[in-house]
Structures are given as C-alpha cells and as structure tokens.
Structure 1
Amino acid sequence: MFAPEDLTQDGFLGGRLTLAQPRAGYRSAMDAVLLAAACPARAGQGVLELGCGAGVASLCLGARVPGLGLTGLEVQPAYAALARRNAAANGLVLEVVEGDLAAMPAALRARSFDQVIANPPYFAPFSGTAAADSGRETAQREATPLAVWIDAALRRLRPGGYLTLIQQAERLGDILAALPPRAGSSVVLPVAPRAGRAAGRVIVQARKGGRGPLRLLAPFVLHAAPHHAADHEDLTPEAQAILRAGAVLTLPR
C-alpha cells in the first residue's frame, strides 16, 4: 500500500474531484478524463473499467453522470485500494475487484455491463526504457495483448452495449482488427495536440452486435496555439469544457 508521503492530491474537473495518486508511480491525467467524457453512460447503467488504476476515469464519469453502477478491475492491489479510497473521499461509489483481465475473476465472469471503458497500456513489450517504478511499468507497458483486452471487454458487455477506449493512434489498426465480428458501428475520434498536427491518441467506440459502417471523425484538438510557446495552459474551448468543466465528449453514432 502507498504511504501518505508517497501520494499527491490532484484536482480533476476543475476541482470537483480531488484524487490521491502515487508521487512516483502511474499517474492518470488528460487521457483518463477524455475517456470518461466519451463514455455514453446514462443514469441507471452499469459501467466496468478494465485496469482502473487509482480510479480516475471511473470517478470522473461518476461525477458527471449520477446514478451509475461503477465497477473497476485492477491487477495491482495497491492501486485498487487507492481507487476505493478515492471513491470514498469524493462521496462516490466504486466497486473495485482485484484481478487480471486475462483470467477474469469469478466475481465478474457472471456479470454483464452496459458500458465498458479502458485505457490499455501504451508501450509495447521490451520497447524503450523500463520505468523505475514497478507500478508505473505495469500500467504503461503491455503484458497482456491489446486483443485480449478487447476480448475481455466484449465478453462483459451486454448486447447493444458500448466499448469505449483510448489508445495510441498507431494501435488503431490492432483495435479495429480485434472488434469484428462481435462489435461494429465503430466510431474513431483522433485526438491531436494542435491544429495541423498528427493525432497522438485515438478514442474508439464500438457497439456489441453493431453492424453499421466505420466512422472516422474530424480530430479533436487539445491546444489552441499553433505551437508550444510558454508554460501556461492554452486549451481550446472544447478541451477546456471537457477537462475543467466535465462536459460530454459526444461521439456521433
């Protein structure tokens, strides 16, 4: 477990949430908030987050949409405990199940959900330099193939339910290849740092049982200035509304 001195207290959604995160471990930021904003959950629905970490995405979603049944699956016990603590500290209910999605815990195998969200690890095995912190390395580097993440998500979805995930843009082909034939009507939103710059992330949403065509949307642009000129926030109005005010990131379907 994390000692108090190993944690920071970080504000999300313009201060609506204050969440503890490890000072040296894996720290959620913009991607988790975008993921939560893109999930089309409605009050009364059940939402499962695969790899919930400290609970940032699930709790941002819960802060925006009251009345959800939020469940997270997390393989690292210290992060699972931190997610529970963060939920309680912010007056939200988040059930956190400890376990590996590649060997789905019995507590989840018999259940299904209206929505599944995920922010799978971005870095390929044996690529780059390993993080000094083991928790950060586990969260960031792929040990379980992306196709297994998607398979686990689709198994937990109800027919007609939605899978929403955020991932590096270069993995888009792998994501789209893993969805058929169980899911379709896919929508892809590239996320670009600035206008005219290549997308570094993609948000992909697919419907279980969907048969509609793939839709590739215009990029969502994060920063207003054409280049980074100074150390101050220069978010576009659209990004500001989502990251600071908890607005919805609607993906047309």
Structure 2
Amino acid sequence: MPRWIWAVAKDLTRDDFLGGKLRIFQPRIGYRAGVDPVLLAASIAAKPDQSVLELGCGVGVASLCLCARVPGISVTGVELQDDYAALARQNAVENEADFTVINADLRKLPAHLRQKRFNHVIMNPPYFERAHGVAAHDAGRDVALAGDTPLGDWLDIGARRVGPRGYLTIIQRMERLPEVIAALQGRLGAIVVRPIAGREDRAPELFLLQSRQEGRAAFRMAPTLIMHMGQAHTGDKETYTPHVRAILRDGAELNILP
C-alpha cells in the first residue's frame, strides 16, 4: 500500500488553498505551509507555455497555486526531503497540475536540470540561519525553517537556472534583505523589493524580491503590502485587507511593483 494512503488518516491533513480551488496534503506535525508560498505564487507574472522552477517546493503549495492561476505553464519543483517530495507529487496528481517534482539536494541537481534554464525561478528558502538558532524537534520543520544550505547557495543556484530575460523571485525575512541583494549583485539586475507588513504602522517582517536576467533598470522599492486591516487583532474573525483576501481566497495576482 502506498505510504500516502495509510498516512492520510494518521499523519496528514488535507487543507484548502485559494478558497478550495486546491486541496493539499500536508503533515499534521512538522512544517505546514501558510500564506507565504501563496503570496510568492501570486507575485509571479508567468504566461502560458512558460517554464517555472521552484527550489525547495515542500508539498508544492506555491507551485500548485501558480498552476491554478496560470493554465498552460510547466512547473518543476526540487525538494530535498523524501516524504515532502512524495506529498508534492501526490498533490500534483490530486489537483491535475503540470507539476514535476524532483527529489534532490539543490546543491546536487540532476544533470538534466543543470542543463536547463527557466523563464521563472522561485523560492521560499528557510528564514533562519542554522548558526543562530536551535534545531526544531521535527526534522521536516527544522529543514524548512533553517536547514543546512546557506541562503547564498540558494540564490547562486537559482540565478544559474534563470534563462535570458527571465526572473528570479524570492520571499524572505526583512533582516536578510542586504544578504539577498549582495548575493545577486553582478548576477541579476532590475531588482524590485516589495515589503510585507502585518498591519499599518508596523515594520515589515517579510519582503518579496524580484530580479531579472540582463535587467538594467535601477533598484526600486515598491509600496508595502499590508496584510490585515486595523491596528490589532480583535475577536475570532478574518481581518485580511480586500487585496490580500483576493490573493489568498480567489487566486488574484500580486504585482510586486503596483
């Protein structure tokens, strides 16, 4: 019996994304995708017949959200952890998506991937540095939040896979913005950064950054994306702004540079 079948009842949940357009198997305990990969997918201005590579795809949430919004694209995901890669493949089948999952270390990509370049390379790398934190008890969660691959390696490998005039897009914590920009210096250009804040008058905690192969435009900082209405959370109700709600529930596009 395939592992995913016996695991569903005990070890997995099946969660709705994009207002139920997608149903995604995730580990009940371990790393569970939230809104970040959905925002990443929404920010990719892909067109039908284009190719997309996601490094560190997990169970496939970002790639599958992108497939749902842009029919006709071809998406490849690379995932280090065997069980997460298996779930990503199953989620691709369940959601009838053109999404191929490669179980590999991104530092040791298969030869056929090293020889291919993509219109879009996307990533949601671990937010925290291994040297500055304590390992999580769950191995899957630990790899997703910190891992052993330096952020610079993610960006170097991603930049190598971007095709002519193609784009690399990343979502990451704000304190790592200087590190990301430094890693891309001399590699990709036309950098645009869109900060993401929980509420108005709060400092951004995350950012989306997009850069382009052969891009020559000057660095640009886009307006901050505000996630929630009001100054504080009050009561057990959803407080997403209309724009963010449309992204998360309806699969709307998120322009990095409005």
Task: Give the TM-score normalised by structure 2.
Answer: 0.95
**1:1-253 superposed matches below 5 A:** 3-4=7-8, 5-252=10-257
State the distance in 1 between where 2:56 and 2:131 align: 20
Alignment-mate amino acid for residue 218 of structure 2? P
Q: CA deviation at 1:107?
A: 2.9
- Computed over aligned residues only, the root mean square deviation of the Cα atoms, in angstroms, reads 1.2
Question: What SS class does the counterpart of residue 223 from structure 1 fall into?
Answer: coil
Shift of 1:127: 3.0
* 1:231 Cα deviation after fit: 2.4
CA deviation after TM superposition for structure 1 residue 211, in Å: 1.6
Deviations 1:182-228 (A, max 9, x none): 20100000000000101010000000111211100110000002111
Shift of 1:130: 2.1
Contact preservation (8 Å) 1:62, 1:70: yes
What SS does structure 2 have at the residue aligned with 1:11? strand
Cα offset for 1:160? Answer: 0.6
* Amino acid corresponding to residue 120 of structure 1 in structure 2: P
Q: Work out whether residues 122 and 142 of structure 1, in 8 Å CA contact, stay in contact via their aligned partners in 2.
A: no
- Partner secondary structure for residue 227 of structure 2: strand
Displacement of 1:98: 1.1
Check the 8 A contact 1:150/1:179 in 2, yes or no. Answer: yes
- Is the contact made by 1:161 and 1:208 (CA closer than 8 Å) also made in structure 2? yes
Separation in 2 of the partners of 1:220 and 1:77? 34
Q: CA deviation at 1:115?
A: 0.2
On the 8 A contact 1:189/1:218 being kept in 2, the answer is yes
**What is the rounded CA distance, in whole Å, between the counterparts of 1:230 and 1:159 in structure 2?**
49
Give the structure-1-normalised TM-score.
Answer: 0.97
**Identical positions, percent:** 49
**Within 1, Cα distance between the matches of 2:39 and 2:30?**
21
CA distance in 2, matches of 1:139, 1:235: 25
| Separation in 1, partners of 2:257, 2:224 | 13
